[in-house]
């Protein structure tokens, strides 16, 4: 239910002494404001149509304003207060030109067209430069200007209905820019993927044709890839080692140490050494010594390892020379950019990976007097030189990120770790730096950030859609509340879950007092069984049910109600039924009056017949007297019928015709049709007399069929379903003994005499 209208909010009490219906917000401001100082004058002097429109806008959740009279005096609702902003509450009662002088040039010709010509004007996403928060801003609105007509037909004012779309317009503009940026980034990402694919092909070529034994190992010790030299190292075939664990090739004396390294590397890759010696088995069982250098493959859980058989080195005198060669072999094929700088900051050595990362050759790097300044991006150069000078002073650092300016102009992101190098005597030999490419990771982080922004925007759009849906739902419930028929939503156990305003007025109960109450509480005790049977049959068959029963108001008075119930499921799938209730007390009273009249006539006949029997001494005299009495009775009935019909024609029919010429609502038209069917049609008396077994509703339906009305028109007149009308048609055919005949019911009824 709408929470913006005083009519629909049970927490707000109606003020019966004031024509203003709602309370709170703008209603209180209008109620307490001294209007005698404005051009509108005291509220009590306002015309009825102005009062009606004021109550209309105050009960609406859409921003609305009334501009009344020649000076266009302002009256607005709570929702418009947000648009007025800093102009509230001084805007109330002032002229439009005083309230919005900054847009008067735009509004003036529009108000002239509305007030003078009666036009309705609409603008979609119209931009206005307004000052409502102590500064000039561009605001967008979708709005309409409509004339408000007085009872005399003249135009008394203008109704403005508007919705601010500033935020949506701004978001659309921002979204357009974001999409353009996203398209550029997608194109850049595609180019990066192509470069990565080319880089992978180069890597495989280098890996397969490398002169060193190399392998790629998973963190679970599985060997996933080896090159030809690795197979030569252990005299294995590729198929024999790929997919197996490297632990099978390690003797027990080294297995525990290497397993511990692997365990530490799983926790922290920096906590385990990247270079170490170990023993391994060849295929023929011979134990050999190897030096392994490893590095984590970027953005994976894989390790790239290079192996060097150092068995022969340990058996010859040139151990130092061989060690240097092994070092250079390992360093040259390490995937990262490795370098060694002396204590004075001069580059002593750099591995070939510098070329893959920067495009600068080893010779070019060695020839740089201010290494590594030319390679650092100009925006990061000063910071990186401070880090470099700190490393020269024997500091330790890791995970320092900076940008590289490659030789070809491409900018990449890199991460550096550095530490000092000492000889066996503790003398400083300079420092070692390891640099790896993190461009792909940074791009992925940037893409994630963009996706998060897009997701936030989508969530905001979804929230706005939900608000619009809620507003539409509120409008539906307003129409539901004001329907001419009482509506109840009842659970399967028979408890009222929801009801409209018409139903509460019908029962004389506040809506809050109806919720969770059994519907049978408001049904006459003698008719409760009818409701129980209909309710049970509805949920057993899920076929709509129609019945008539007596209901009770809170003041104890009863009334006849025609109910139509249908079964449904709520959002959780729980069965419930919807009950439509129409007050048919007037119809029932007319039927009761007709029944009493018939019983009165029957009693008169009984009394007269008894008198004739008592006075009948002589059979001839009795017969003569009986004939006279019967003749007089027939004449009396004809006179009574003629008098009754003449009175109807003279006293009722003219007024019925006058009523039809009035501008009646649909419920009023239906009432007129019902009265005409029950009283003014001579055919009804004839049909009632001829077929006493007809119910009042069957007689009404029969009359409308005779008049040529369709099933749909009859259902609309009686405010019931077409299934109910079909049910009555079948009963009429049965009682007229037409069930087994193909006779047309309309033609048959036309053939019956009216008197």
pLDDT digits (tens, 9 = 90+) for 152-161: 889 999 999 9
Question: What order do you get walking across the sheet with 545-552 strand by strand?
Answer: 496-499, 486-491, 575-583, 558-569, 545-552
Task: Please tell me the distance from the alpha carbon of residue 471 to that of residue 719, in angstroms, as a whole number.
Answer: 29
680 has a pLDDT exceeding 80:
no
Residues 173-192, mean pLDDT to the nearest whole number: 86
CB atoms within 10 A of CB 442: 16
- At 576, which helix (H) or strand (E)? strand 575-583
Report percent pLDDT > 70 for the chain: 88
Residues 96-124, mean pLDDT to the nearest whole number: 93
User: Which residues lie across from 122 on neighbouring strands?
Assistant: 144
Residue 228: burial class (beta carbons within 10 Å; 0-12, 13-18, 19+): middle
492 or 4, which is more confident? Answer: 492
Residues 508-530, mean pLDDT to the nearest whole number: 90
Task: Please tell me the distance from the alpha carbon of residue 598 to that of residue 595, in angstroms, as a whole number.
Answer: 5
Residues 408-428, mean pLDDT to the nearest whole number: 87
pLDDT of residue 11: 38
Task: Please tell me the distance from the alpha carbon of residue 474 to that of residue 7, in angstroms, as a whole number.
Answer: 13
Residues 339-345, mean pLDDT to the nearest whole number: 87
Phi-psi region of 544 (alpha: psi -120 to 50; beta: other; left: phi over 0): beta
492 has a pLDDT exceeding 70:
yes
Residues 476-503, mean pLDDT to the nearest whole number: 86
CB atoms within 10 A of CB 632: 11
Task: Please tell me the distance from the alpha carbon of residue 232 to that of residue 211, in angstroms, as a whole number.
Answer: 11
Task: Please tell me the distance from the alpha carbon of residue 62 to that of residue 475, in angstroms, as a whole number.
Answer: 10
For residue 298, which phi and psi values (nearest 5 degrees)?
-55, 135
120 has a pLDDT exceeding 90:
yes
640 has a pLDDT exceeding 90:
no
Note every long-range contact of 397-401, with CB atoms under 8 Å and residues 24 or more positions apart, other chains counting. Answer: 398/270, 401/438
Spatial CA neighbour of 699 closest among 551, 595, 600, 544 = 595
101 has a pLDDT exceeding 90:
yes
Least confident span in 133-137, 296-300, 430-434, 447-451: 296-300
Spatial CA neighbour of 671 closest among 722, 717, 704 = 717
CA 211 to chain centre: 64
Residues 18-23, mean pLDDT to the nearest whole number: 86
| pLDDT tens digits, 204-242 | 777 778 878 888 888 888 998 888 888 888 888 888 888
**Coil, strand, or helix at residue 269?**
helix
691 has a pLDDT exceeding 70:
no
pLDDT of residue 331: 63
Least confident span in 83-92, 565-574, 712-721: 712-721
14 has a pLDDT exceeding 80:
no
173 has a pLDDT exceeding 80:
yes
30 has a pLDDT exceeding 80:
yes
670 or 4, which is more confident? Answer: 670
């Amino acid at each position: 239910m709408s929470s913006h209208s005083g009519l629909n909010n049970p927490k707000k009490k109606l003020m019966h002494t004031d024509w203003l219906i709602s309370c709170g917000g703008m209603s209180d401001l209008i109620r307490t404001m001294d209007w005698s100082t404005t051009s509108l004058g005291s509220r009590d002097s306002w015309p009825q149509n102005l009062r009606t429109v004021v109550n209309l806008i105050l009960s609406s959740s859409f921003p609305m304003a009334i501009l009344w009279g020649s000076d266009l005096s302002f009256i607005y609702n709570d929702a418009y207060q947000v648009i007025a902003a800093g102009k509230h509450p001084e805007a109330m009662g002032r002229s439009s030109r005083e309230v919005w002088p900054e847009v008067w040039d735009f509004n003036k010709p529009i108000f002239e067209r509305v007030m003078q010509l009666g036009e309705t004007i609409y603008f979609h996403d119209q931009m206005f430069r307004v000052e409502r928060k102590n500064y000039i801003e561009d605001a967008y609105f979708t709005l309409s200007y409509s004339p408000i007509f007085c009872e005399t037909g003249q135009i008394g004012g203008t109704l403005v209905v508007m919705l601010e779309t500033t935020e949506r317009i701004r978001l659309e503009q921002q979204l357009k820019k974001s999409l353009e940026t996203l398209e550029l980034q997608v194109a850049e990402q595609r180019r990066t993927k192509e470069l990565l694919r080319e880089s992978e092909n180069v890597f495989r070529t280098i890996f397969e044709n490398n002169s060193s034994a190399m392998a790629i190992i998973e963190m679970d010790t599985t060997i996933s890839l080896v090159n030809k030299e690795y197979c030569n190292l252990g005299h294995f075939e590729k198929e024999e080692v790929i997919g197996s664990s490297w632990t099978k090739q390690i003797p027990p004396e080294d297995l525990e140490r290497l397993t511990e390294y692997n365990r530490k590397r799983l926790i922290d890759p920096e906590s385990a050494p990247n270079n170490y010696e170990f023993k391994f088995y060849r295929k023929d069982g011979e134990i050999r010594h190897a030096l392994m250098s490893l590095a984590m493959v970027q953005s994976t859980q894989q390790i790239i390892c290079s192996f060097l058989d150092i068995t022969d080195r340990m058996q010859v005198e040139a151990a130092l020379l061989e060690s240097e060669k092994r070092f250079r072999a390992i360093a040259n094929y390490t995937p990262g950019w490795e370098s060694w700088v002396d204590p004075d900051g001069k580059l002593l050595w750099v591995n070939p990976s510098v070329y893959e990362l920067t495009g600068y050759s080893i010779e070019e790097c060695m020839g740089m007097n201010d290494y590594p300044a030319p390679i650092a991006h100009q925006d990061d150069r000063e910071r990186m030189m401070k880090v470099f000078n700190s490393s020269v002073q024997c500091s330790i650092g890791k995970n320092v990120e900076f940008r590289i300016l490659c030789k070809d102009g491409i900018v990449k992101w890199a991460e550096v770790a550095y530490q000092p190098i000492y000889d066996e005597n503790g003398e400083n030999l300079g420092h070692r730096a390891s640099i790896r490419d993190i461009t792909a990771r940074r791009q992925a982080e940037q893409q994630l950030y963009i996706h998060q922004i897009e997701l936030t925007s989508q969530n905001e759009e979804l929230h706005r859609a939900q608000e619009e849906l809620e507003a539409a739902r509120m409008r539906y419930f307003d129409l539901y509340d004001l329907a001419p028929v009482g509506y109840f939503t009842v659970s399967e156990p028979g408890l009222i879950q929801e009801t409209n305003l018409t139903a509460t007025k019908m029962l004389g109960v506040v809506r809050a007092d109806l919720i969770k109450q059994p519907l049978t509480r408001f049904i006459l005790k003698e008719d409760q069984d009818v409701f129980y049977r209909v309710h049970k049959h509805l949920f057993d068959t899920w076929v709509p049910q129609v019945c008539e029963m007596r209901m009770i108001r809170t003041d104890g008075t009863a009334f006849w109600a025609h109910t139509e119930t249908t079964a449904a499921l709520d959002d959780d799938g729980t069965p419930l039924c919807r009950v439509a209730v129409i007050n048919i007390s007037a119809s029932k009273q007319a039927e009761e009056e007709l029944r009493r009249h018939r019983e009165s006539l029957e009693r008169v006949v009984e009394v007269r017949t008894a008198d004739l029997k008592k006075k009948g001494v002589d059979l001839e005299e009795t017969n003569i007297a009986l004939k006279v009495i019967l003749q007089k009775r027939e004449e009396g009935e004809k006179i009574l019928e003629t008098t009754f019909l003449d009175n109807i024609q003279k006293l009722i029919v003219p007024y019925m015709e006058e009523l039809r010429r009035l501008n009646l609502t649909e419920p009023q038209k239906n009432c007129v049709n019902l009265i005409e069917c029950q009283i003014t049609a001579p055919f009804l008396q004839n049909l009632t007399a001829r077929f006493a077994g007809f119910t009042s509703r069957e007689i009404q339906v029969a009359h409308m069929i005779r008049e040529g009305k369709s099933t749909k028109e009859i259902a609309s007149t009686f405010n019931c379903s077409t299934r109910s009308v079909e049910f009555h048609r079948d009963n009429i055919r049965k009682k007229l003994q037409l069930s087994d005949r193909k006779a047309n019911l309309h033609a048959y009824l036309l053939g019956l005499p009216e008197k």
